C-alpha cells in the first residue's frame, strides 16, 4: 500500500474562503462601521430591555410588510441579509435571549421560532 502525503504550500485558508461575517470593503460599509460597533457594543443588563429587544427583533427574516397608519402607507423592508446591519441585530437579539435565560433564569421559548 502506498502512503499519500498532502502538504500545503501556503499557510492561509483557501483564497476563496471568507468568514461568515465577511464584509466586502467599500465606502458604504465603511460608513456603517461606526453604527455596527454601536449595536455590537450594546450590553443587555436589564430584563425589561431584553424582553423589548426579543419582541422587536424577529427570530426569523420576515417578508416585507406594508403598514397603514393614519391613512398613510409605510413600507417596512425585510429584515434579512439585504439589511446591512442584519448580523449585528441578530447578535443583539441573541445576547438578549442569553441574558434572559442564563442570568434571569426565564423561559425564552416564546421568543424562539
Q: What are the extents of the domains in the chain? A: 27-31+41-111
pLDDT score, position 86:
85
User: Which pLDDT tens digit goes with each residue over 7-37?
Assistant: 444 444 444 444 445 455 566 667 888 999 9
Measure the CA–CA gap between 43 and 98, rounded to whole angstroms. Answer: 11
**Across residues 92-107, what is the average pLDDT?**
96
Question: Long-range contact list for 42-51, CB < 8 A, 24+ apart?
Answer: 42/92, 42/95, 43/95, 44/92, 44/95, 44/96, 44/98, 44/99, 45/99, 47/99, 47/100, 47/104, 47/106, 49/96, 50/96, 50/97, 50/99, 50/100, 50/104, 51/96, 51/100
Task: Give 71 or 98, the one with higher predicted confidence.
Answer: 98
User: Which pLDDT tens digit goes with each residue over 31-87?
Assistant: 888 999 999 999 999 999 999 999 998 887 766 777 787 888 887 776 576 778 888
Amino acid at each position: 500500500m502506498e502512503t499519500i502525503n498532502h502538504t500545503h504550500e501556503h499557510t492561509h485558508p483557501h483564497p476563496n474562503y471568507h468568514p461568515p461575517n465577511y464584509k466586502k470593503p467599500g465606502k458604504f460599509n465603511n460608513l456603517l462601521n461606526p453604527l455596527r460597533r454601536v449595536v455590537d457594543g450594546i450590553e443587555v443588563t436589564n430584563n425589561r430591555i431584553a424582553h423589548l429587544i426579543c419582541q422587536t427583533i424577529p427570530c426569523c427574516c420576515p417578508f416585507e410588510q406594508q403598514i397603514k397608519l393614519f391613512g398613510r402607507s409605510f413600507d417596512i423592508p425585510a429584515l434579512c441579509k439585504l439589511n446591512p446591519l442584519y448580523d449585528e441585530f441578530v447578535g443583539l437579539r441573541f445576547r438578549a435571549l442569553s441574558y434572559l435565560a442564563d442570568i434571569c433564569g426565564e423561559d425564552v421559548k416564546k421568543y424562539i421560532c
